[in-house]
Structure 1
């Protein structure tokens, strides 16, 4: 009886030893490769602006050297008229053309006087005309146009309703308000350039506050509308109602 029991036990021991040897010889699992880090896309210019855009110099107080900075009283009136001209031509509000015509009719003398004075400040028409062409193009910059329209439209209606002789007092603050969206855009563009430099260097960009949504749709812009006619007169150009 003992002999018959020992044979199966020996066989089992042998099989158990073989199983242990097979388990010990099993290869170790291969390490799982780490995912390759994906580099973030480069930052984009704000409001669809072009890369490498030339913007005015940033001044010590954080503002920008726009063409509307530190202008004379005559310059404030005439620059404001130029802004309203661009708004009437380029902004989607169809009521602005009629408001602009009322402005010209109600403030003809003030506009003519501002034109004469500002022309003399520029040293004559040879210098004045190119400066005014640059001013028109400044106001019509596509990335800023929606916010410009949001500011200029209501102010144009206010100016058109002013009594004769009050445009001079209205112009400085109104021009500063119209110019503000351009300074804000330049600040966002400077932040983009800082973020782009950090991206190129492989360092994380500083967190930015989300920009306010544009006030309206961005309009197509044909620079020839303003650059083709460089001679600007005393504000007597009447716009056809749209």
Structure 2
């Protein structure tokens, strides 16, 4: 073998070694790549909380007010609870008077007409009830104090039936009462007055029940959503974000009834019919 052939053989060997080395490196890199772990997945997005609207008071009432409590038997302890027949007659008169003054829309015209008729047709029962109530307060107070006590109680009655959120339901009840009074004989009015007063009071009791339910719903909402500060919220109709729970406004307390004894039966001659009282604006009892 000459020198040229030897160089060719040597060069070919070098090339084979180079190819083998390259193949080995490629195999090693492939093996290492197969053993490497994949990168961790990205962290999940923050949880999205869909918050229902905060409960709102019924009938546009204030955000925070106190309703008359319930007794153990479930009845509301309103200004009309546990009163005598004479006071029932007079409280009905007071409630009907509020309706005649406040239900001024044209559709409620029969209320004012009915109230004027009511004062005339049942004047003897009204006079008798007023006299008995005066006598009852005089058994608990003397002189001017008896008059003040009665006026204070009557102001509470007027304020009770003047609660703005109940205006619509109250006026509708007064319409029904006005129609029903057309069929009540004067001799039966005192017995019927319990029914009439209950019908005029019913919208207020329904409102108090609705307000108590609102307070329960609000407490549940605040317990679940109100302590989280700013919360991410998926936009819905009319609600795109949520923040801290609004601070409630000052508490509004309805006037509570003062203790009133059961009516003492007083036999007196009927007084002269009373004139229709002028329209007055009653102050709110603090």
Using the size of structure 1 for normalisation, the TM-score is: 0.70
Aligned to 2:9: none
Residue of structure 2 in register with 1:187 after alignment: 209
Distance 1:143 1:49, change over 3 A: same
2:114 counterpart residue number? 99
Consecutive unaligned residues in structure 2, runs of 5 or more: 1-18, 139-145, 227-271, 280-286
- Equivalent residue, structure 2, for 1:60: 72
Distance 1:51 1:122 in 2: 37
| Compared CA separation, residues 161 and 104, structure 1 to 2 (3 A) | farther
- How far apart are the structure 2 equivalents of 1:235 and 1:170? 21
Q: Which has the larger radius of gyration?
A: 2
Partner residue in 2 for 1:230:
none
1:173 alignment partner, one of 195, 198, 206:
195
Q: Is the 8 A contact 1:80 1:171 kept in 2?
A: yes
Specify every segment of 5 or more residues in structure 1 that has no aligned partner in the other structure, as ranges. 1-6, 205-232
Distance apart, 1:108 and its partner CA: 1.1
Choose which of 199, 202, 206 in structure 1 pairs with 2:224.
202
Q: Aligned residue for 1:74?
A: 86
In 2, distance between residues paired with 1:130 and 1:75? Answer: 14
Q: 1:87 aligns with which of 91, 94, 99?
A: 99
8 Å CA contact retained: 2:99, 2:174: yes
Alignment partner of 2:175 out of 143, 153, 165: 153
Q: Which sits farther off after the overlay, 85-94 or 36-45?
A: 36-45
Kept in 1, the 8 Å contact 2:96–2:115? The answer is yes
Equivalence for 1:213: none
Partner of 1:108: 123
Return closer, same or farther for 1:25/1:67 CA change in 2, 3 Å cut-off. closer
**Which of these residues, 275, 281, 286, is aligned with residue 236 of structure 1?**
275
> Secondary structure in 2 aligned to 1:94?
helix
Q: What CA distance in whole angstroms lies between the structure 2 residues aligned with 1:239 and 1:169?
A: 28
Say which SS state the counterpart of residue 63 (structure 2) adopts.
coil
Q: Is the 8 A contact 1:100 1:239 kept in 2?
A: no
Question: In 2, are the aligned partners of 1:98 and 1:239 still within 8 Å (CA)?
Answer: no
Deviation at 1:158, TM superposition (A): 2.2
Which of 158, 167, 189 is equivalent to 1:136?
158
Q: What is the Cα deviation at residue 21 of structure 1? A: 5.6
Report the Cα distance in structure 1 between the residues aligned to 2:158 and 2:277, rounded to whole angstroms. Answer: 17
Partner of 2:59: 47
CA distance 1:68–1:82, change in 2 (3 Å): same
Change (3 A) 1:155 1:90: same
